[in-house]
Amino acid sequence: MKTYTGSRILIECLKEQGVDTIFGYPGGTILNVYDELYKHQDEITHILTSHEQGAAHAADGYARATGKVGVCFATSGPGATNLVTGIATAYMDSIPLVAITANVATSALGKDSFQEIDIVGVTMPITKHNFIVKDVKDLAKTIRRAFYIAKSGRPGPVLVDITKDATANKAEYKYEEPKAVERSTENIAKKDIEKVVSLIKASKKPFVFVGGGCNISKASEELKEFVDYIDAPVCDSLMGKGAFAGTDDRYTGMIGMHGTKTSNFGVTECDLLIAIGCRFSDRVIGNAKKFAKHAKIVHIDVDPAEINKNIKTDASVIGDVKIVLSRINEQLENMKHEDWMKHIKEMKEQYPLTYDKSKLTGPAVIEAIYNATKGDAVITTDVGQHQMWAAQFYKYTREGQFITSGGLGTMGYGLGACIGAKVGVGDTPVFNIAGDGCFRMNLNELATASRYNIPIIQVVINNHVLGMVRQWQTLFYGKRYSATVLEDKVDFCKTSEGLGAKAFKVTKKSELDKAIKEALKAGCPCVIECVIDNDDKVFPMVAPAAPISEAFSEEDLASKGFEV
């Protein structure tokens, strides 16, 4: 048993948990912690970001890419509140994150002290759990509990706020092995498994819908075995990408607002929809009353709160997806649905994803990156048209390969996440795909990448507008482009060079492959600005609140005389 300051106890607890990287930004109340971190810099790497939001996004990207818990630090007041968007992003997507903030001394709490904020109160709705530590004796058990909560069951962010006196005061410390996180099986009922198996065996037209829970559970092998057993097509959500290989013949693409027609029409026609590790987001289901209306619904999820929340189910199993699928697989035999699979194949041929290949477009950029990396890069994105193109035109084959803000839809997320992911995965190429609107929000994190020479590749698909908002204005608001035109004098290449990155400007499709190739071999942060037309659109599309069976393409609009 040793006696340490609270700051030393914190660092020792982080070492217990296997933390090797922290993203953060120092300030007055957290100085004791940073002083202790200085003494342990050979054991824990600290990445100083340009903004606390960047630290939260980097920790999030690191967690998604590695499967570990991401960790970020911030000081009190504005430092802590600057983490909020990043914490909310992680919360919506069930990402294991521990945010550690410091607050004013216990004696100064509640007195409107300089840089005081009730960050526990602020973050209560967007954390899985949060704590304030005022007594150094409570610190070690709180940190250990925070990591366990972040990792267990349905993962999520946990915030630990520590008063400054608790970081300075001393207490006894004894090393403890981290508590093992067991997969959630306590709610898996034999009768629920049997009911699901009976529905599967009775089905003539099954369809499998894969959500982010499959990635979190690392259930890709069990999922592949399951799909092969039941001989069914597979679609995924934005968060589910990579759990089932996008190169597999059974794969039909994403479902929902910008999903493929094959996925949307197929789910509408199926007689059994098997939803695995998903939350039936509004962007997936469209009009809930008309979603998969011919099908019985099976829902497998670790979180009982998701069952019957958005879509009424006919059968469900609550538990870790990997375990549930393995138990279902034990009761299955090889099935054949030849007519159904033939019909799905015909739809894939009839409704392929297409784009104008005569010019530089968003899809052309994504396909060029896919070809240059042979499908082996990690892709992070911001939010908007570029995000949808990245989801549609890069074929993901493993978990942690596609990193995006699915639930909160956070513009400015991608660059920080890209830095965190690259720190986590090492030699694997990591690209962030952003639009010009998103890139403006957190481009200061290029300075972070250049400070540490983290060789990320930032792609800016520049259409000089807020593309997705403009697309909605075109289709639903009479082409009234209110506050979405970004024509100004900002030079992204010069700005990027000023922040320490190597920059390439691409205005023609013929220039694209060379820029990507040079960026891949540069060994330093690179920015590739790709200038495209400001009225390029993402298709297919489902209008907000419309049934997914009403997905339409640009050709569909043209046939009705609507010019886009």
- Could you name the CATH architecture of 190-350? 3-Layer(aba) Sandwich (3.40)
Domain boundaries of the chain, sorted by first residue = 2-173, 190-350, 362-539
pLDDT reported for residue 29: 98
pTM: 0.97
pLDDT reported for residue 154: 98
Look up 115 and say whether it is catalytic: yes
Q: With beta carbons less than 8 A apart as the criterion, state whether 40 and 19 touch.
A: no
pLDDT reported for residue 126: 98
**Average confidence (pLDDT) over 18-31:** 98
DSSP state of 509: G
Q: Cα dist. 369→75, 291, 385, 514 in Å? A: 39, 34, 17, 11
Instruction: State the amino acid at position 27 in one-letter form.
Output: G
534 CA to centre of own chain: 26
Residue in 385, 556, 564 with CA at minimum distance from that of residue 477: 564
pLDDT reported for residue 562: 85
Q: pLDDT tens-digit profile of 452-470? A: 999 999 999 999 999 999 9
> Angle at the Cα of 66 (from 94 to 417), degrees rounded to 5?
70
- Could you name the CATH architecture of 362-539? 3-Layer(aba) Sandwich (3.40)
Residue in 2, 39, 43, 114 annotated catalytic:
114
Decide if pLDDT at 299 tops 90: yes
Residue in 12, 17, 36, 52 annotated catalytic:
52
* Backbone dihedral angles phi then psi of residue 286, each to the nearest 5 degrees: 65, -125
Q: pLDDT tens-digit profile of 110-127? A: 999 999 999 999 999 999
Residue in 128, 151, 164, 205 annotated catalytic:
164
Average pLDDT, the chain: 97
Decide if pLDDT at 155 tops 90: yes
Residue in 16, 68, 115, 509 annotated catalytic:
115
Q: Cα dist. 285→42, 317, 334, 472, 477 in Å? A: 49, 20, 30, 19, 23
DSSP state of 286: B
* 316 pLDDT tier (thresholds 50, 70, 90): very high
> Does the domain made of 2-173 have the CATH classification 3.40.50.970?
yes
Please compute Rg for the chain using Cα positions.
24
Q: pLDDT tens-digit profile of 517-556? A: 999 999 999 999 999 999 999 999 999 999 999 999 999 9
Residue in 254, 257, 411, 468 annotated catalytic:
468
Decide if pLDDT at 564 tops 80: no
pLDDT reported for residue 117: 97
Q: With beta carbons less than 8 A apart as the criterion, state whether 422 and 456 touch.
A: yes
Spell out the residues 6+ positions from residue 492 whose beta carbon is closer than 8 angstroms to its own.
Answer: 436, 439, 443, 460, 462, 503, 527, 529
Write out 49-98 in H/E/C secondary structure: CCCHHHHHHHHHHHHHHHCCCEEEEECCCHHHHCCHHHHHHHHHCCCCEE
Look up 151 and say whether it is catalytic: no
DSSP letter for each residue of 479-498: T--TT-B--SS--HHHHHHH
> Angle at the Cα of 55 (from 54 to 59), degrees rounded to 5?
115
Look up 16 and say whether it is catalytic: no
Torsion of CA 402, 407, 412, 417, to 10 degrees: -40
* 315 pLDDT tier (thresholds 50, 70, 90): very high
Residue in 11, 357, 65 with CA at minimum distance from that of residue 173: 11
Within 10 angstroms of residue 38's Cβ, the number of other Cβ atoms is 9
**Average confidence (pLDDT) over 285-307:** 97
**Cα(431)–Cα(415) distance, rounded to whole angstroms?**
9
**Average confidence (pLDDT) over 495-511:** 98
Q: With beta carbons less than 8 A apart as the criterion, state whether 151 and 96 touch.
A: yes
Look up 306 and say whether it is catalytic: no
> Angle at the Cα of 106 (from 102 to 108), degrees rounded to 5?
95
**Average confidence (pLDDT) over 395-411:** 98
Identical fold for domains 2-173 and 190-350, yes or no, is yes
Q: With beta carbons less than 8 A apart as the criterion, state whether 536 and 386 touch.
A: no
Decide if pLDDT at 1 tops 90: no
List for the chain the helix, strand, coil content (%; round to 5): 45, 20, 40
Looking at the DSSP bridge assignments, the partners of residue 530 are 461, 506
**Cα(451)–Cα(525) distance, rounded to whole angstroms?**
10
Helices 52-66 and 84-92: crossing angle in degrees, nearest 10, is 30
Decide if pLDDT at 561 tops 90: no
Phi-psi region of 71 (alpha: psi -120 to 50; beta: other; left: phi over 0): beta
Look up 12 and say whether it is catalytic: no
pLDDT reported for residue 563: 80
**Cα(483)–Cα(533) distance, rounded to whole angstroms?**
18
* 188 pLDDT tier (thresholds 50, 70, 90): very high
Percent of the chain at pLDDT > 90 equals: 99
Torsion of CA 437, 438, 442, 446, to 10 degrees: -90
